[in-house]
Amino acid sequence: MLISQLLQRKGGNVATVLPGTSIADAVAALAAHRVGALVVSADGATLNGILSERDIVRGLAAHGLSTMDLTAGDLMTADVVTCSKEATTEQLMAEMTNRRFRHVPVTEDGNLIGIVSIGDVVNARVRELEIEAEQLNNYITGR
């Protein structure tokens, strides 16, 4: 399945924060949106970085409670792996597993068009495999 197909089902909404957003406010946004990562973007369209729960935990380990006074720009991962809508779920699942990250922004011409999580990718891949199994079963049984 192509990432474009996954985004058609899921939608292209992306939870974003400004680079100057405090970590305390970013944590509140994570909870409000019920997501594990926020795209850090100065304009809502281009990608400055990504701030994940892991980034915040690492900040807490390094800075203690003063982490809450830092900004999303301070703790974000700036070197973000992105994908295009032409990528496949199989390709993306392999890359996410090998490189150990859980969220990938989807971009087109440098602009943010969506985000997919490892859960989105795994669920899509499971659906693909279920359809393939059903088709094989129908072929074998002559249905």
Contact 3, 121 (CB under 8 A): no
| CATH classification (class only), 3-141 | alpha beta
* 49-103 tens-digit pLDDT: 999 999 999 999 999 999 999 999 999 999 999 999 999 998 999 999 999 999 9
- Looking at the chain, which runs of residues are DSSP E strands? 16-17, 37-40, 49-52, 103-108, 111-117
Query: What pTM was computed for the model?
Result: 0.85
* 107-134 tens-digit pLDDT: 999 899 999 999 999 888 888 888 888 8
**Closest among 79, 136, 75, 71 to 104, alpha carbons compared:** 79
